[in-house]
Structure formats: structure tokens, C-alpha cells
Amino acid sequence: MIVPLKPEQIKQVNALVRSSCTNCQDGCCLLMDDGDSFPCVQLLSVSGIFCRYFLVAVLPADKKLYAEIIRNNQNVKE
């Protein structure tokens, strides 16, 4: 499931990933690590939220951004 973002939200989302996602380490996703480092797909995204973990566990920490994104995507189910 992809949650579309407005261009101005991308920078805010990326800052939140870097500051608050416990699975993002040095720009790599620990959840995808199988011995090789994989870039964080959320940091690579320029159009939406691709990471379910970010959507349900990290994004709600920024109440204003969360409300703005969810309000713009009422049909998106977590």
C-alpha cells in the first residue's frame, strides 16, 4: 500500500525517518538487512509512504504531519 504525499511533505517525512525510525540506521533499513545493507525505501521515495512500519509506528509521533497526511488520504487504511 502506498500513501501519496504532497511534494512539501517529503522533506518532513524524511526528517522524521532520520530522527525517529529505529529501523533506519545510516540511511539503511535494518528490517530489510539480511547480511547486506539495503537503503531505506522511505528515504528514497519522492511520491509517497511505502513503508508500513513508518506509517503505523513512526508517523503518528508527529501529530500535525500525521493528521495532514491521513486527512488527504481518507481512503487509506493502516
pLDDT digits (tens, 9 = 90+) for 12-42: 999 999 999 999 999 999 999 888 999 999 9
- Per DSSP, the three-state class of 60 is helix
pLDDT category at 51 given cuts 50, 70, 90 is: very high
C-alpha–C-alpha distance, residues 38 and 22, integer Å: 15
pTM to 2 decimals?
A: 0.86
pLDDT category at 72 given cuts 50, 70, 90 is: confident
pLDDT category at 54 given cuts 50, 70, 90 is: very high
Q: Quick one: DSSP state of residue 39? A: B
Please state the rounded mean pLDDT for residues 48-61.
96
